[in-house]
Structure 1
Amino acid sequence: MNHLQKRTFILEGKMSKVIYTLALPIMLNNLSQTLYNLADAFWVSKIGEIEFAATAFVWPVLFLIISLGMGMNIAGTALISQHIGANESKEANKVAGQLFIFSIIISLLFAVIGFILTPYIIKLMGAQGNLFTFSREYLGIMFFDIPILFIVFVFTAIRQGQGDTTTPMVINVSSVILNVILDPIFIFTLNLGIKGAAIATILSKAVFAAYIIYLLFFRKNGIHITLKDIKLKKEIISKIIRVGLPASLGQAGSAFGFIVLNGFVVSFGDYTLAAFGIGNRINSLVLMPAMGVGSALATIIGQNMGADNIDRTREAFKQSLLMVIGFLFIGSIVLIPFSENVIKIFAENLVVISEGTYYLKLIAASMPLMGVFNCLMGVFQGSGHTIYTMYMNLGRLWGLRIPMILLFKNFTDLGSKSVWFAMVISNFIICCFGMIIYMRGKWQKKVNNEYA
């Protein structure tokens, strides 16, 4: 389908088919990224368990930086999809151009500042000994990935805003395949260890970043950017910031919360941190359908709001909710009996296996909650009412999870299980909160009108 046919399909097609059509490429994209994470975890774990723990330890720092760009891209997707739904292609092109140049500027700033501050960040997080050394090596290199990653995010946001979820999937899958090939070469053949894993990641994305720039500027299929579009325009940047800032704050606050959460986890020992990292990677694989549907839902909500199809947005949410709960219920049933065997693929230490198995079983049993969470986030992101996504992200971690961990850790003998139980309970409460916001209906007001 060309971009005009996609718009008609999203606005008028059978809803279940629209969801599946948009979500499936995103699911495949998420699957490829998750398989890469698992492959990367596999190779790094062969170096040593402390090296593996280091990659899990520093990830929230990277996500803290990435989240700021993600917030801007959430704004871009919402604004672009609503312009397209309203048949305002010129305005959509302008937003895309401003999104691109603004993301490039802030990503370069983050990369330089982050690289300089790497040793201080790692020390502030409490890492010592080998964990400090490996974390510093890995994080310092990975900061160079930020500008490249932001280009990928911008492209994905622009294409998903117009209903094209296939092209970003093809590019990302190709990048992942290259990454999987390069990992063992740089880690073992070139004997670069954990540094090799970081270098392989950067090179595999840089190859395709150049192609992305070509598609955005020289291929005129739907949204395309011209040099005139990247000249900074205060009114559009202001609109992107107004919509994107709450999402950025929510994502950044969530990322910082996970840094604090890692601090609690590492206080129970490096092996517990390793178990946490392994469990999260496996969990992300099972959550793939929910994340795919949630991302597709944002595009469906945005375009239909732009076309004033409010009833259709509610139908999209209901059908998406039923889909993801069904997917994740089946995933839980399959995963729970085989949790220990799965953990053993990535760990040999008995403590890591025991901790990881318990965590994986508990989180698997509560997976349907994450389906609800992802659908609610899709609605609020697609509508552009990112203040609600900020409430949910910050409330889940800072309002609920971290205080509960402190209570459980200091007033019970649960040990590391304090973290696991707090995660499940906080997910349940925040989903109830999100449903209340959804039923109130204030998210149905178009942000393109609100910030005009």
Structure 2
Amino acid sequence: METDMTKGKPMNIIIGFAIPMFIGNLFQQFYNIVDTIIVGRFVGKEALAAVGSSFAIMTFVTSILIGLSMGASALFSQLFGAKQYEELKKAISTSFIFILVVSITLTVITSLFMNQIIHLFQMPVETRAYAANYLRFIFAGLIFSGVYNSFSFLLRAVGDSKSPLYFLILSAIINIILDLFFVVILNMEVTGVALATFIAQGVSAISCAIYTIKRMNFLEFNREDIIFHRQMFKKIASYSILTAVQQSASSFGMMMVQGLVNTFGAIVMAAFAAASKIDSFANIPMQDFGNALSTYVAQNKGANNTKRIREGIRGVSKIIIIFSLGISILVFVFAPQLVLIFVKKEALDVIEVSVYYLRIVCVTYILLGFLQMFYGFYRGLGEVKVSIMLTFVSQVTRVVLAYGLALTPLGFTGICLAIPIGWFLSDALGVAMYKKIMIK
């Protein structure tokens, strides 16, 4: 169901929109976590290290497609809020064609240069075969990622965050069943995990595409409407390409840090892989409130309602504080138990490193929460360049400090400390830009 966010109580609308995204991302993280659990428990720590390290590569590549879809959805929301349906049809058609071409191009490039990517990533020799088997299927499924994100972000742009949830649940169920079948029963190891993900993504993407085409009938799309509009592409590029740069820059920073972690050996790699999964899980609520705020801000910008935009960001700020503090306490207290979800209790060295990382980083989740809020706010306003600035401040600080501090006696501790410092500096910039743009 489409939702007009230019009317009604701001916080009720934002919370109602965020909840389905939150549940959907829980399922998405859940089946990613199932991959990690099954690999860690049924294959071994070298395989866990390889999958965890490969996940950073996969995130970097898919972040390009997510960024393109996310950026285009901000324009969709503005056009929907302004009731400019003919322009919205042009934007949807042009964006989909563009993202489809990029998806195919990325599939070809990553598949051809997979071995070079693994080598560049400094993976230990004992993990490279596992990584190659995993990434082969992940790269082949990039087109599914492009299709799913194109249609799911289109649904969210017009206020429908529930429908993408159903397809994520479908994908999660298929992925978990196939994980158990391929790995536990057929003993296919890492290849089975990757194949399960490939099939689950394919089913989810095709199902979401069919549903969205039927669901958007209020636009009265005809076959002749499916063309590439050059003038509209210029507008889309100013949103989607810049957002893709932001998303890929963030993932590239993570990948650079993962490359540094890889030099510490398989134990630290496995620990960092498990801790990163917990980090990702903890980040879901903040990320979804930021994404909900983006759609809310975009629709109200299209309706030229600045007052509602201010009301929205004040409300989301309060929610971020409550959620981030609660999650920080839970992760700090239950860090050992959370790590045991991913590794065997006998792997004491992996557990120790992972818990150490979590208890340093989790106390600063509030900084990450506000950063996600600022990302959504500036993206919804169309100030994508500001979002990119925040990302570069966060990631450059994180990478430079991580590599610098890792060479000091701090070692791995320096990598842990670099992360919240980057968040803090980026938040400070976000506040300064808010005062410049919104307080006039």
Question: TM-score, normalising length from structure 1?
Answer: 0.93
Q: Is the 8 A contact 1:85 1:302 kept in 2?
A: yes
Offset from partner CA, 1:348-382 (integer Å, 9 cap, x none): 31111110001111221111111101110110111
1:29 to 17, 20, 24: 24
- Cα root mean square deviation, aligned: 1.7
2:380 to 371, 379, 382: 382
Answering whether residue 280 of structure 2 is matched by residue 284 of structure 1, we say yes
Counterpart of 2:38 in structure 1 is 43
2:358 to 324, 346, 360: 360
Q: Is the 8 A contact 1:216 1:225 kept in 2?
A: no
1:417 to 410, 413, 416: 413
Structure 1 SS opposite 2:92: helix
Distance 1:222 1:163, change over 3 A: farther
- Once the two structures are superposed, the pairs formed by residues 191-340 of structure 1 within 5 Å of their partners are 191-223=187-219, 225-340=221-336
Q: Is the 8 A contact 2:21 2:165 kept in 1?
A: yes
Report the Cα offset of residue 223 of structure 1.
4.9
Distance 1:64 1:338, change over 3 A: closer
Report the Cα offset of residue 208 of structure 1.
2.7
Offset from partner CA, 1:327-356 (integer Å, 9 cap, x none): 110111122111112212222311111100
Answering whether residue 360 of structure 2 is matched by residue 350 of structure 1, we say no
**Letter in structure 1 aligned against 2:27:** S
Between the aligned partners of 2:173 and 2:221, the Cα distance in structure 1 is 28
1:372 to 361, 370, 373: 370
Offset from partner CA, 1:134-154 (integer Å, 9 cap, x none): 111111211011100111111
Per mean C-alpha deviation after superposition, the further-off stretch among 297-306 and 188-197 is 188-197
Unaligned runs of 5+ in 1: 445-452
Question: TM-score, normalising length from structure 2?
Answer: 0.95
Counterpart of 1:448 in structure 2 is none
**Letter in structure 2 aligned against 1:198:** A
Offset from partner CA, 1:133-189 (integer Å, 9 cap, x none): 111111121101110011111111101110100001111111111111111111222
Between the aligned partners of 1:118 and 1:224, the Cα distance in structure 2 is 42
Structure 2 SS opposite 1:248: helix
**Letter in structure 2 aligned against 1:298:** S
**Letter in structure 1 aligned against 2:378:** F
Counterpart of 1:397 in structure 2 is 395
Offset from partner CA, 1:356-410 (integer Å, 9 cap, x none): 0011112211111111011101101112221111111122112x11221233123
Q: Is the 8 A contact 1:60 1:259 kept in 2?
A: yes
Between the aligned partners of 2:226 and 2:316, the Cα distance in structure 1 is 36
Between the aligned partners of 2:297 and 2:77, the Cα distance in structure 1 is 8
**Letter in structure 2 aligned against 1:73:** S
Counterpart of 1:149 in structure 2 is 145
Between the aligned partners of 1:296 and 1:323, the Cα distance in structure 2 is 12
Answering whether residue 17 of structure 2 is matched by residue 19 of structure 1, we say no
Report the Cα offset of residue 59 of structure 1.
2.0
Report the Cα offset of residue 224 of structure 1.
6.5
Between the aligned partners of 1:220 and 1:433, the Cα distance in structure 2 is 38
Distance 1:28 1:365, change over 3 A: same
Q: Percent identity?
A: 26
Between the aligned partners of 2:291 and 2:113, the Cα distance in structure 1 is 33
Q: Is the 8 A contact 2:253 2:398 kept in 1?
A: no
Structure 2 SS opposite 1:231: coil
2:404 to 402, 407, 416: 407
Between the aligned partners of 2:371 and 2:211, the Cα distance in structure 1 is 33
Report the Cα offset of residue 423 of structure 1.
0.6
**Letter in structure 2 aligned against 1:82:** Q
Per mean C-alpha deviation after superposition, the further-off stretch among 127-136 and 209-218 is 209-218
Q: Is the 8 A contact 1:397 1:426 kept in 2?
A: yes
Q: Which runs of 4+ in 1 moved over 6 A?
A: none
Between the aligned partners of 1:303 and 1:420, the Cα distance in structure 2 is 38
Distance 1:22 1:443, change over 3 A: farther
Q: Is the 8 A contact 2:49 2:266 kept in 1?
A: yes
**Letter in structure 2 aligned against 1:365:** V
Between the aligned partners of 2:162 and 2:6, the Cα distance in structure 1 is 18
Q: Is the 8 A contact 1:246 1:390 kept in 2?
A: yes
Q: Is the 8 A contact 1:80 1:92 kept in 2?
A: yes
Between the aligned partners of 1:284 and 1:222, the Cα distance in structure 2 is 36
Report the Cα offset of residue 37 of structure 1.
1.6
Offset from partner CA, 1:216-258 (integer Å, 9 cap, x none): 3334444575432331111112221122222222222222222
Counterpart of 1:450 in structure 2 is none
2:128 to 125, 129, 132: 132
Distance 1:335 1:75, change over 3 A: closer
Report the Cα offset of residue 74 of structure 1.
2.2
Per mean C-alpha deviation after superposition, the further-off stretch among 356-365 and 213-222 is 213-222
Distance 1:101 1:310, change over 3 A: same
Structure 1 SS opposite 2:236: helix
Answering whether residue 434 of structure 2 is matched by residue 438 of structure 1, we say yes
Report the Cα offset of residue 96 of structure 1.
1.3
Between the aligned partners of 1:21 and 1:184, the Cα distance in structure 2 is 34
Between the aligned partners of 1:326 and 1:294, the Cα distance in structure 2 is 14
Counterpart of 1:172 in structure 2 is 168
Between the aligned partners of 2:389 and 2:61, the Cα distance in structure 1 is 19
